[in-house]
Amino acid sequence: MSVYKKNNYRPGRQTKKEREQEEPTKELTSEQLSHESTTAEVFQTLDEKAGKTEAWVQRNQRSILLTVVAVVVVGLGYMLYKQFVSTPRETEASEKLSFALTVFDEALNAPTTAQRDSLFTLSLNGDKSHGGFLQVIKDYSSSKAANVAYYSAGMAYLQLNKYKEAVTHLDKFSSEDPILSALALGNIGDAFVALKQPKEAMDYYKKAIDKSDNTLTAPIYMNKAALVAEEQKNYKEALEYLEKIKNDYPKSQEATSADMQISRVKTLMNQ
């Protein structure tokens, strides 16, 4: 699409020089539109699955002290790809990464634990024809695709109950997006809960809360921080988080049980 100056523009009165100057602009814009169209087709499938994962998170988030929750993992596949991999310079790395992400998605939907674990392991290590997340990290260590692989590998290790490896890889992920950063920090907190290191877990939940006050991640990690604080008998801090959820995020899933949790914590405080 060509862009013309508004002042004194009349169709059909362009000089030859003006037409020659505009033709590169047309060609460049056409190339950009083609690239955007291709990118949209690649990520459409991942985007459609985000809703199912969010619902799963809402059903399971209150069991943080017993299990580790993967937050919006499928939806992140689209977000991570869009932010880090959709540039020509990352083409080769992104092609290597796509296999591992596809397998990871299949693992999330696997019907049995054995199949799930097998697929998560495959996403990490790859097979004879394709490399996994770890190979992308090794071969493209300075690339943006490797950054995505660090997050994804961390989540795969988290699902395989390999919590130390999860912390190591998630901690190497970086993003300017506050929601993605909060999710990475919060998942490190989940890993430390599973490792029975509540102090470290609380530190990372606080980092996740401070990173972004959005309505998706903030109430989730406030609730997790409250549960850890309650377990450590730090009832005042637990109460502060629960009341903040109730007052600042009244429409969140966590707010539906806030009153009950507040009542329980107050009872414990008075014992």
Question: What is the rounded CA–CA span in Å between residue 132 and residue 149?
Answer: 9
Q: What is the dihedral of CA 247, 226, 163, 133, to 10 degrees?
A: 10
Give which of 220, 123, 25 is closest to 205, Cα–Cα: 220
Question: What is the rounded CA–CA span in Å between residue 49 and residue 105?
Answer: 9
CB-side neighbour CA atoms (13 Å) of 202? 14
Give which of 158, 76, 74, 78 is closest to 120, Cα–Cα: 158
Question: What is the rounded CA–CA span in Å between residue 247 and residue 261?
Answer: 14
Q: What percent of the chain is predicted at pLDDT more than 90?
A: 61
Give the pTM.
0.68
Per-residue model confidence (pLDDT) at position 94 = 86
Question: What is the rounded CA–CA span in Å between residue 151 and residue 132?
Answer: 13
Q: What is the mean pLDDT of residues 97-113?
A: 95
Q: What is the mean pLDDT of residues 110-138?
A: 96
Per-residue model confidence (pLDDT) at position 69 = 44
Burial class (CB in 10 A: 0-12, 13-18, 19+), 196: exposed
pLDDT tens readout for residues 71-87? 455 566 666 666 665 56
Position 120 pLDDT exceeds 50: yes
Chain center to CA of 44: 17
pLDDT-derived band of residue 254, with 50, 70 and 90 as boundaries? Answer: very high
Give which of 179, 170, 173, 269 is closest to 229, Cα–Cα: 269
Mean pLDDT taken over the chain: 80
Per-residue model confidence (pLDDT) at position 93 = 84
Question: What is the rounded CA–CA span in Å between residue 271 and residue 260?
Answer: 17
Question: What is the rounded CA–CA span in Å between residue 169 and residue 124?
Answer: 12
Position 135 pLDDT exceeds 70: yes
The answer to whether 224 touches 207, Cβ cutoff 8 Å, is no
Position 201 pLDDT exceeds 60: yes
Give which of 74, 80, 86 is closest to 39, Cα–Cα: 86
Per-residue model confidence (pLDDT) at position 5 = 40
DSSP sequence for 185-230: HHHHHHHHHHTT-HHHHHHHHHHHHHH---TTHHHHHHHHHHHHHH
Question: What is the rounded CA–CA span in Å between residue 28 and residue 69?
Answer: 44
| Residues 6 or more apart in contact with residue 10 via CB below 8 angstroms | none
Q: Does residue 156 or residue 271 have the better pLDDT?
A: 156
